[in-house]
Protein backbone atom coordinates (compact mmCIF):
# COMPACT_ATOMS: atom_id res chain seq x y z
CA UNK A 1 0.00 0.00 0.00
CA UNK A 2 1.29 3.46 -0.72
CA UNK A 3 0.13 6.97 -0.25
CA UNK A 4 0.01 8.58 -3.65
CA UNK A 5 -2.06 11.55 -2.69
CA UNK A 6 -0.73 15.05 -3.09
CA UNK A 7 0.79 17.19 -1.81
CA UNK A 8 4.06 15.31 -1.47
CA UNK A 9 6.19 16.40 1.44
CA UNK A 10 9.96 16.45 1.42
CA UNK A 11 12.83 18.05 3.23
CA UNK A 12 16.52 18.52 2.60
CA UNK A 13 19.57 18.78 4.78
CA UNK A 14 22.94 20.34 4.06
CA UNK A 15 25.77 17.99 4.94
CA UNK A 16 29.31 19.31 5.20
CA UNK A 17 32.04 16.73 4.71
CA UNK A 18 35.50 17.65 5.97
CA UNK A 19 38.33 15.62 4.46
CA UNK A 20 41.06 15.33 7.06
CA UNK A 21 44.73 15.27 6.25
CA UNK A 22 46.42 11.89 6.26
CA UNK A 23 49.99 11.81 7.55
CA UNK A 24 51.45 10.98 4.15
CA UNK A 25 54.32 13.46 3.82
CA UNK A 26 57.68 13.04 5.50
CA UNK A 27 59.60 15.88 7.11
CA UNK A 28 62.16 17.41 4.74
CA UNK A 29 65.41 19.06 5.85
CA UNK A 30 66.34 22.40 4.36
CA UNK A 31 69.24 22.54 3.80
CA UNK A 32 69.89 18.82 3.47
CA UNK A 33 73.41 19.01 4.92
CA UNK A 34 75.18 21.17 7.47
CA UNK A 35 78.82 21.80 8.36
CA UNK A 36 80.30 23.40 11.45
CA UNK A 37 83.77 23.72 12.95
CA UNK A 38 84.15 23.68 16.70
CA UNK A 39 87.12 24.03 19.04
CA UNK A 40 87.85 21.05 21.23
CA UNK A 41 87.94 23.23 24.37
CA UNK A 42 84.26 24.30 24.27
CA UNK A 43 82.30 23.59 27.41
CA UNK A 44 79.45 21.07 27.52
CA UNK A 45 76.10 22.47 26.37
CA UNK A 46 77.85 24.71 23.84
CA UNK A 47 75.34 25.58 21.08
CA UNK A 48 76.57 24.43 17.67
CA UNK A 49 73.72 25.07 15.25
CA UNK A 50 70.04 24.75 14.52
CA UNK A 51 68.82 22.19 11.99
CA UNK A 52 65.47 22.83 10.34
CA UNK A 53 62.87 20.73 8.58
CA UNK A 54 59.34 21.21 7.28
CA UNK A 55 56.40 18.88 6.73
CA UNK A 56 53.70 19.66 4.16
CA UNK A 57 50.98 17.81 6.07
CA UNK A 58 48.52 19.87 8.08
CA UNK A 59 47.52 20.11 11.74
CA UNK A 60 49.20 17.69 14.12
CA UNK A 61 50.34 15.58 11.15
CA UNK A 62 53.02 18.16 10.45
CA UNK A 63 54.58 17.68 13.91
CA UNK A 64 57.90 15.88 14.20
CA UNK A 65 60.80 15.43 16.58
CA UNK A 66 64.53 15.59 15.93
CA UNK A 67 67.00 12.96 17.10
CA UNK A 68 70.61 12.02 16.49
CA UNK A 69 70.29 8.78 14.57
CA UNK A 70 73.91 7.87 13.76
CA UNK A 71 77.48 9.01 14.22
CA UNK A 72 77.53 9.71 17.96
CA UNK A 73 78.07 6.40 19.78
CA UNK A 74 79.60 8.08 22.85
CA UNK A 75 76.93 10.76 23.27
CA UNK A 76 79.22 13.73 22.58
CA UNK A 77 76.33 15.72 21.18
CA UNK A 78 72.65 16.24 21.94
CA UNK A 79 69.76 17.73 20.00
CA UNK A 80 66.66 19.46 21.31
CA UNK A 81 63.92 17.21 19.90
CA UNK A 82 61.43 20.07 19.51
CA UNK A 83 63.62 22.90 18.21
CA UNK A 84 66.45 21.18 16.35
CA UNK A 85 69.17 22.96 18.33
CA UNK A 86 72.37 20.89 18.33
CA UNK A 87 74.74 21.13 21.30
CA UNK A 88 78.09 19.71 22.38
CA UNK A 89 77.02 17.46 25.25
CA UNK A 90 80.40 16.23 26.50
CA UNK A 91 83.96 17.51 26.20
CA UNK A 92 85.59 16.87 22.83
CA UNK A 93 89.09 15.50 22.38
CA UNK A 94 90.58 16.02 18.93
CA UNK A 95 93.30 13.45 19.56
CA UNK A 96 90.64 10.77 20.13
CA UNK A 97 88.36 11.85 17.29
CA UNK A 98 88.85 14.75 14.90
CA UNK A 99 85.70 14.49 12.76
CA UNK A 100 82.10 13.57 13.51
CA UNK A 101 79.56 12.80 10.82
CA UNK A 102 76.18 12.91 12.52
CA UNK A 103 72.93 11.77 10.97
CA UNK A 104 69.99 13.72 12.36
CA UNK A 105 66.51 12.32 11.89
CA UNK A 106 63.17 14.14 11.88
CA UNK A 107 60.37 11.68 12.73
CA UNK A 108 56.65 12.37 12.35
CA UNK A 109 54.70 12.37 15.59
CA UNK A 110 51.29 12.91 13.95
CA UNK A 111 48.73 10.17 13.46
3-state secondary structure at position 60: helix
If pLDDT is split at 50, 70 and 90, which confidence band does 101 have? very high
Alpha helices in the chain (DSSP H): none
- Between strands 28-29 and 53-54, the pairing is antiparallel
Residue 33, CB half-sphere, CA atoms under 13 Å: how many? 2
Cα–Cα dist 53/29, whole Å? 4
**In sequence order, which residues have a C-beta less than 8 Å from that of residue 25 and are 6 or more positions away?**
55, 56, 57, 61
**Whole-prediction pTM value?**
0.78
pLDDT in tens, 49-100: 999 998 888 888 888 899 999 999 999 999 999 999 999 999 999 999 999 9
Amino acid sequence: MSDSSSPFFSDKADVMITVQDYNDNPPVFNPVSYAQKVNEDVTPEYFLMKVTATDSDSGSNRDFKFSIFEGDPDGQFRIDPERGNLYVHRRLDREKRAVYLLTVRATNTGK
